[in-house]
Structure 1
Amino acid sequence: MYAGSRHNDPHYLDAGRELYSSAMRGLSRTLNNVSKATSDETLATAITLAIYEMHSCTSEDGWMHHAAGIRALMQLRGPEMHLDGFGCALYIAFRNTLVTSALVNGDECFLEEPKWQALNEHIAAENAKQPDSSVYTDITERAFREIVKLPGFVKQMRNIQGASLHMQKRRRPVLLRGILATRASLRGIHTEFSMTVSTLRAGREPKTDFIGPIPYHFFDGFSTLSMQGIRSGILLLNYLIILLDPSQRPAAEAENRIVTHRMQAARGSGSRKSFDQSSPPITPPGSPGRPHLMIESRVTPETRQPPTSDWMDRLATTMGMEGVRISLIDDGPA
């Protein structure tokens, strides 16, 4: 598929589709073998086929089926099989996409469970021990541990909207507290990351070939995309706050205008193409209606990008947030 995209040659693309179909049949046979189903090789195969499907979109939601299978494999393997080595590398390679698929599915992301959050903390601690560790990777690890909670918040909010008034009154304050706490954490991480990046760009740190494990040449792109992911998380949390507590709407909308402006400015200053993450206008202040949250997949036949692009890097570096378009839509007067 890469060769076909690189040279614009349909023969390679056809060969890629045939190999994909053959690999799918092979994976199906392997999954029926209990001794092989949980191996690193099986998980690696599933991840590779998922990435192929995200680039090619042979069906509208084919990549989602792969993501569901990978989720099941990871849960079957358990966190202990991802503590180090190739298993850890596989986990890091796909964990951000699991956030995307959970948001699109409207389901919680299993990575927010304590045992998986403990794995994320372990990975961060191991990174800190390495000679190429840096504050930037530590900050993004902390951001991911907050971002992974967002799909669960979305699901809980929708469950509350469909519940009885009695249950809404009971559950709403608890959920709102959790969302406010996560927003506060992301705000702090955003400020910390902004300050450290500004210090580096201002030349107040010695210039080196690498910033932690990241080559200096790629650091601007890494930091910009990481910030985009954090800002997208704040944007979504503010939408949830508006839905749960309309009295906070003016303040949440004001922050979202600032966040959206910064995201647009960052995209405008970069040389890489990025998804449109901005939302359509919502109800003007003073005339609130009945808003509802819309989360659309940005991994579709219409928006897919070829394997010659840095699409997968952007999805991963934004912690999965660039794989969705988030909007708050007004349904009309309440």
Structure 2
Amino acid sequence: MVGVPRSKGCQTCLQRRVKCDLTHPECLQCSRRLMKCPGYEKRWKFYNQTSGSTENKQRTRSKAQARSALPRSTQPALSNNNDTIDERVEPNLVVQAFDLQGKETFCTFLLASFPAQFASCGGRVDVNWIDYARQPVLDAPQALTWAFRSIATLHIGRTYHDLEKITSSRHMYSRSLSYLSSLIAHPRYQRGAETLAAAILLNIYEMQDSISPLSWLAHAQGLATIIQLRGPEAHRIGFGTTLLKSCRSILVAEAFIRGGRCFLDKPEWQAFLAEVAESETKSSKGSKLGILVDRAFIEVSSCPRWLMETRMLLEVPRDTAPSTSLPPLTLMQRMIQSKNKLSAIQQQLEIALSRQGTPVSDTSWEDFIGPIAFNFIGAFAQSAVNGVRLAIALLDHLIDLVRLHLLVYEQDSSDYASSSSATGSPGSFMLNPWSDLGSHSGSWQLDFDPDYGLALFYMTRETSGWMDRMMMSMGLLGVRPRRIASAW
């Protein structure tokens, strides 16, 4: 605001600070000094506003004129008298505060829904999900932003039984899914870490609030496509490793239900998984217990293929050559090798599970568990052991089916004898949960039951939610034959 003189005198008298007689057209003070009187017009006018407020008024006037030119039905969408002062003055701050709160809620959801998964991997990777969610990102894609919001809102709605929040989260999910479709269709962004992160979050949302019991498995096929487009090297270090470990169990479960192979059983991915596990042995963040589970996963990821190969072998007519990629004898030998590796890992994991009550001061025990939280060792090791046991039981049954096939087709008895002698000890179950496989054509179809075998498999008090159990069991806990024996 500019100060304006109160006197009505001419400008010369004001500058000289003398009293002006206000004579018109020229004052006598100027006439006596032989000066031209500048007159009595003021050079400044008083305005009770700033230039910014003037511009705001002009914009408001323009908006009002534009609003009046629109149909009445559209006018309420352009103005909201309930906006807070923060939203009116600086709306971007409101969005940032909302996103920050939503991400913190997501972190709460993560720790509540995947405690063992996060405890087993969070300290062993360069960037875990909580670090990733809390880091400031200026150009995060809308698909990722709305994915975080949808899970956070769903978690709040479920926690407080707020149906309105749950409904809002579904709208957010749909919006994120639409943005994700655009990202996947764009060659520049379809291989991005943010694209895969958004896809994983939307898959997790489907697990929590699915349209149908197995709708989340349909999203897993999209995850497999994105990961294969990115290639193994994109998941070797950094957040890429976290992304792969976050969804690898989902990929195995999806392959079992679909009745096909999991791409992780391909030689290039098997070699990559082995290299990642080996590199952790040299890392300060390494955990011997976690490395054991990673090595077990390498064998488990091949189980969908062994199931598919065995089914294809047994379903062909007798006079038709099998359509499998491996000869029957080679198939059986490969499954025996995998079973033997899993049996060795199972023994080490069971030893770890028996030592979960070991005092923390034990140095050898600390080296074995590494950065894994001590409170979650029981749940982590128990789920991993259950996954390994299920894989061994499956391989036992498939090996028996292939062996019977070889006997029927009168394969060379010496080759059979040398192979069958390597099967080792019998399975881990008195009644094999996969025993229905191969009994008829429909028995090869698998289903997913999140509570399948829960009372039998979990002998300890640490029993986490079904999503955490499925992740920690490498995708096996919950997968079952469609027609299940009554004893189970």
TM range (shorter): 0.7 to 0.9
Task: Quickly say closer, same or farther: Cα 1:289–1:22, change in 2 above 3 A.
Answer: closer
Q: What's the CA shift for 1:256?
A: 4.4
Task: Quickly say closer, same or farther: Cα 1:28–1:135, change in 2 above 3 A.
Answer: same
Of all paired residues, the percent bearing the same amino acid is: 29
Structure 2, unaligned runs of 5 or more: 1-153, 408-419, 452-463
Q: Is the 8 A contact 2:224 2:251 kept in 1?
A: yes
Task: Quickly say closer, same or farther: Cα 1:326–1:233, change in 2 above 3 A.
Answer: farther
Partner in structure 2 of residue 319 of structure 1:
474
| Deviation digits for residues 228-265 of structure 1 (CA, Å, limit 9, x no counterpart) | 110010111122123222488xx99962434x6xxxxx
Partner in structure 1 of residue 336 of structure 2:
180
Partner in structure 2 of residue 215 of structure 1:
373
Task: Quickly say closer, same or farther: Cα 1:104–1:252, change in 2 above 3 A.
Answer: farther
Cα distance in structure 1, aligned partners of 2:180 and 2:439 = 49
TM-score, normalised relative to structure 1: 0.79
Q: Is the 8 A contact 1:160 1:171 kept in 2?
A: no
1:121 equivalent to 2:274? Answer yes
Paired AA for residue 175 in structure 1: L
Cα distance in structure 1, aligned partners of 2:298 and 2:157 = 38
After superposition, residues 1-334 of structure 1 pair within 5 angstroms as 1-165=154-318, 167-168=321-322, 171-199=327-355, 201=357, 205-206=362-363, 211-246=369-404, 255-258=427-430, 279=433, 292-298=443-449, 310-326=465-481
Paired AA for residue 182 in structure 1: S
Q: What's the CA shift for 1:327?
A: 7.1
Paired AA for residue 320 in structure 1: G
Cα distance in structure 2, aligned partners of 1:183 and 1:328 = 25
Greater relative contact order (Cα < 8 A, sep 6+)? 1
Q: Which has a greater percent of helix? A: 1
SS at match of 2:175: helix
Q: Is the 8 A contact 1:96 1:319 kept in 2?
A: yes
Q: Is the 8 A contact 2:450 2:466 kept in 1?
A: no
Cα distance in structure 2, aligned partners of 1:105 and 1:159 = 14
Cα distance in structure 2, aligned partners of 1:294 and 1:35 = 38
Cα distance in structure 1, aligned partners of 2:424 and 2:397 = 7
Q: What's the CA shift for 1:326?
A: 4.1
Cα distance in structure 1, aligned partners of 2:386 and 2:155 = 27
Structure 1, unaligned runs of 5 or more: 261-277, 301-308
Task: Quickly say closer, same or farther: Cα 1:210–1:195, change in 2 above 3 A.
Answer: closer
Cα distance in structure 2, aligned partners of 1:280 and 1:192 = 24
Taking only aligned residues, the RMSD between alpha carbons, in angstroms, comes to 3.2
Q: What's the CA shift for 1:104?
A: 0.4
Q: How many residues align?
A: 299
| Deviation digits for residues 70-126 of structure 1 (CA, Å, limit 9, x no counterpart) | 111111111111111111111111111100000000011100111111221222123
Paired AA for residue 433 in structure 2: S
